[in-house]
A and B are shown apart, each in its own frame.
Chain A
């Protein structure tokens, strides 16, 4: 009986013989024009050959009968995650971080290969934790292997730029109300000379100490009093207010403060002077929300991990030396290549020669369909990242070619409220040669310099072909 029904369905060929013909034409142009000459609707594909040697890996991955379903499931989990900010706690408590252990951005890294800003941030963290008296002393201890480094990503955490987390730093705690995951990100220090850009001067360490003493506890009380804050709802609103949630967080910061300020004012545990300091600090930093957005993006991306056969990218991260990605179907394995130098605008007298290669876990925003992928939503910053409004629209539109879905919640007014492109597919990146566009800050290459600019950067292409070959082996 069911056989009969199946047979019947099979005969209909998706309406091939009954509907008005419409054709997607991929390849030789004369065949597409022959259709156009017959007034048949034809969508011509601007096809280019994938890199030599990828044919059989592509066939193995895409020919795996469960592949399309695996990708659909993985990206569905990514876009249905509902990250909420639920708490703020020190890393030593919430991540169990021991003294002398530090987290860092990007894929795994040893001191010997660490870049200037990464070394600078680690030096600063040593000073903050009281593990060294002077920068030189900190550096010598680090050279001798006195500290343990691990990627933030190995602890469900993310950190912007150098992404260095030490036990006394306070972390935003974000829980996914849909799939149950938890993710973490440190608190944002502001712009200029800050630890995440590799600066470790006295003002940097003083600020970090204040953040641990005043800001962290104040935020904890505010968040606990407020109750879970729906970050996706906040991000969706900010996106319609001109943020892309990576290089522009002005609207999101304002929206978050609007939620937290009344709760902070009402928190009896926080002295009025400290509450005022905390609010003034947060309000004075347009990037205050970035870290919350990153933790939210991390929760979304982690929800999509571990789907066998899926070619969905679940992490893009840089440590200042390597650019690494992780893929849903290949577990915790990193695929790495040399981090590129961003293309962008420089502050003051700095120029490209001062720039460090790409650094930071903040590409988690692009991984989850924000940042560079949502550039069309943020016309206010396109010049800052080097271009005009049409370039921003084109960048977002290009990302639809390599992503698996359009975000159901994050919408772009300029594109008639089309969802942002979300869920980078390794196979599509390899096939098209289109690389993810990533917004980024630019750190100075010398330890201690701080930020020198901001712009756009692309991952090295090999990380995607390497991931494809690894997936092909599992297929």
Chain B
């Protein structure tokens, strides 16, 4: 093995771009490891963990490149090759040089405020690192733009300041940590290509909103707008400031006939406040909360359809010809990219199997959780960690059923089945007694094409469901043959 570490002054790229470069570099033959990242404290820690020594002078504004190649000796050609590949990758992702042409396009704006002044935008989508969000968000609000903050790690005091500033200007701040919005047909962040329709969604949960919009699309209903509010909006500190603004805006929107509010479990006093506000609206509000005794996302979608006087369809499913038999006595392992989809699956499992899931070896993991995304892209963009976990679970005899979600849409990886289907097929080849169930959140119009993804996964041996709740119940029947699928609670 040979290590090569280089500090490049002032070569800034965003973290997602660099993670992609790192990943593509690591995949090259002869490369045992690679990391390309800005020299922030967190990244330095990651370099250290990988065994790379980063020079002290590398600061957060410097690009640090670390490559480990296989083989020994100073005249190792692999290193030169990897370095060449790295330069190529960086060139590829570099922005074109600032256009200085007399009549050419002016150089790109350098702040959100400057970009806002150039056009006629209605919303700013911010995904800079959390500690740097505030100035960009204030720029947007001062320019009369609404704000969607995709980033997390924004201090809660700043969140409140921004939301108060927005309220004074008659605007809304969606986020921080808001992954999903659909506004007038445009998907911001992780969002699916859904048909326009009568349902407005207020979402304190990104994948919860995606599940809802996909089911509504499948039912032919569609959405008017999906307004994210951020995972912390319904906390006691933030007190639903954005949820209340979003409810009021959708109530005033002529295209919205019904509102669905989807959230991870909110603070009880904030939920009371929201319910009270919802009662005062002219537009009916349906709640979709992963709480015991509340509707799951699929039931909330069904309730919304009934309230609109529309038929509830049979939700799309693709059953593998493999015909998995129940595998009683073994554990269910849920490997999720979507936090709310994980929570929903766990809630349903507790409902069916009782409260001692962990004691019986059942586990539900959210790979989108901070613990798995430190210094790494979200599993909807980079599946590496989850694929590793899939292999590990398949190698564990105690595991009988694997439950996975696949979330499609704008922003998500271009072809998740390309990596996942072969991994599923390999797992089932080694473990004929294993069953794999996939909850596939997407629409036929998504860039990845839901139906093509479904067929690929199904052919690999997985049972595929458009409803996460149905996928979970199906997985539960495989774990315990005494459970009958579709039993009402």
Residues in A lying within 8 Å of B, measured CB to CB: 6-32, 34-35, 37-38, 40-41, 43-52, 55, 58-59, 62-63, 65, 68, 389-391, 393-394, 397-398, 400-401, 414, 427-428, 431-432, 434
Query: What are 26 A-B contacts defined by CB distance under 8 Å?
Result: A13-B171, A15-B122, A17-B249, A22-B119, A22-B123, A24-B116, A24-B123, A24-B124, A25-B125, A26-B136, A27-B127, A28-B15, A30-B411, A31-B150, A31-B411, A38-B410, A43-B115, A43-B121, A44-B108, A45-B108, A48-B12, A49-B129, A52-B59, A58-B134, A63-B158, A68-B138
Stretch of B184-192, B362-370, B384-392 at the chain-chain interface: B184-192
Q: A27 touching B110 by the CB < 8 A rule? A: no
- Report chain B residues within 8 Å CB of A10: 167, 170, 245, 248
CA distance A393 to B100 in the complex (A): 7
- Report chain A residues within 8 Å CB of B183: 16-17, 21
- Report chain B residues within 8 Å CB of A25: 124-125, 127
Question: Would you call B14 an interface residue if the criterion is a C-beta within 8 Å of the partner chain's C-beta atoms?
Answer: yes
- Report chain A residues within 8 Å CB of B16: 28-30
Q: B186 touching A26 by the CB < 8 A rule? A: no
CA distance A23 to B410 in the complex (A): 15
CB distance from B159 to the nearest CB of A (A): 12
CA distance A440 to B249 in the complex (A): 54
* Residue from B115, B146, B185 in contact with A14 in the complex, judged by beta carbons closer than 8 Å: B146
Closest residue of chain A to B112 (Cβ to Cβ) is A26
Question: Would you call B252 an interface residue if the criterion is a C-beta within 8 Å of the partner chain's C-beta atoms?
Answer: yes
- Report chain A residues within 8 Å CB of B279: none
- Report chain B residues within 8 Å CB of A63: 134, 138, 158, 161
Q: B122 touching A45 by the CB < 8 A rule? A: no
Closest residue of chain B to A59 (Cβ to Cβ) is B134
CA distance A248 to B322 in the complex (A): 82
Q: A13 touching B249 by the CB < 8 A rule? A: yes
- Report chain B residues within 8 Å CB of A32: 125
Q: B119 touching A27 by the CB < 8 A rule? A: no
Q: A35 touching B151 by the CB < 8 A rule? A: no
Closest residue of chain B to A50 (Cβ to Cβ) is B132
Binary interface profile of B, 387-420, with partner A (CB < 8 Å = 1, else 0)? 0000000000000000000000011000000000
Known: A20-B184, A68-B142. 20 other contacts (CB 8 A): A11-B248, A13-B245, A16-B122, A17-B255, A24-B115, A24-B119, A28-B127, A31-B189, A35-B125, A43-B119, A46-B108, A48-B61, A49-B12, A49-B61, A49-B128, A49-B129, A52-B60, A59-B158, A401-B109, A428-B111
Closest 5 CB pairs of A and B: A27-B127, A394-B100, A22-B121, A46-B108, A11-B252
Contact A65/B165 with A27-B150, A393-B100 known, Cβ cut-off 8 Å = yes
CB distance from A90 to the nearest CB of B (A): 46
- Report chain B residues within 8 Å CB of A24: 109, 112, 115-116, 119, 121, 123-125, 140, 145
Question: Would you call B74 an interface residue if the criterion is a C-beta within 8 Å of the partner chain's C-beta atoms?
Answer: no
* Residue from B124, B138, B151, B169 in contact with A23 in the complex, judged by beta carbons closer than 8 Å: B124
CB distance from A343 to the nearest CB of B (A): 17
Residues in B lying within 8 Å of A, measured CB to CB: 12, 14-17, 38, 59-61, 93, 95, 98, 100-102, 106-116, 118-129, 131-132, 134-136, 138, 140, 142, 144-146, 150-151, 158, 161, 165, 167, 169-172, 183-189, 193, 224-225, 245, 248-253, 255, 381, 410-411, 447
CA distance A185 to B77 in the complex (A): 67
CB distance from B234 to the nearest CB of A (A): 19
Q: B111 touching A7 by the CB < 8 A rule? A: no
CA distance A428 to B114 in the complex (A): 10
- Report chain B residues within 8 Å CB of A43: 109, 115-116, 118-119, 121
Q: B110 touching A16 by the CB < 8 A rule? A: no
Q: B110 touching A45 by the CB < 8 A rule? A: yes
CB distance from B90 to the nearest CB of A (A): 13
- Report chain A residues within 8 Å CB of B253: 17-18
CB distance from A7 to the nearest CB of B (A): 7
- Report chain B residues within 8 Å CB of A68: 138, 142
* Residue from B135, B172, B248, B251 in contact with A58 in the complex, judged by beta carbons closer than 8 Å: B135
- Report chain B residues within 8 Å CB of A28: 14-17, 127, 150
CB distance from B280 to the nearest CB of A (A): 11
CB distance from A423 to the nearest CB of B (A): 13
CA distance A59 to B162 in the complex (A): 11
Q: A431 touching B135 by the CB < 8 A rule? A: yes
CA distance A13 to B242 in the complex (A): 12
Q: A401 touching B110 by the CB < 8 A rule? A: yes
Contact A17/B60 with A24-B140, A46-B95 known, Cβ cut-off 8 Å = no
- Report chain A residues within 8 Å CB of B225: 17
Q: A51 touching B61 by the CB < 8 A rule? A: yes
Q: B185 touching A21 by the CB < 8 A rule? A: yes
- Report chain B residues within 8 Å CB of A398: 107
- Report chain A residues within 8 Å CB of B136: 26, 45, 47
Q: A397 touching B119 by the CB < 8 A rule? A: no
Most buried by B among A16, A24, A32: A24
Q: A46 touching B172 by the CB < 8 A rule? A: no
Closest residue of chain A to B162 (Cβ to Cβ) is A63
Contact A7/B110 with A17-B184, A26-B128 known, Cβ cut-off 8 Å = no
- Report chain B residues within 8 Å CB of A14: 122, 144-146, 169-171
Contact A16/B248 with A45-B112, A62-B138 known, Cβ cut-off 8 Å = no
CA distance A147 to B140 in the complex (A): 53
- Report chain A residues within 8 Å CB of B187: 34-35, 38
Closest residue of chain A to B140 (Cβ to Cβ) is A24
CB distance from A43 to the nearest CB of B (A): 4
CB distance from A415 to the nearest CB of B (A): 9
CA distance A49 to B111 in the complex (A): 11
CB distance from A312 to the nearest CB of B (A): 15
CB distance from B248 to the nearest CB of A (A): 5
CA distance A35 to B248 in the complex (A): 26
CA distance A393 to B275 in the complex (A): 56
CA distance A50 to B252 in the complex (A): 40
Q: A12 touching B134 by the CB < 8 A rule? A: no
- Report chain A residues within 8 Å CB of B172: 13, 16
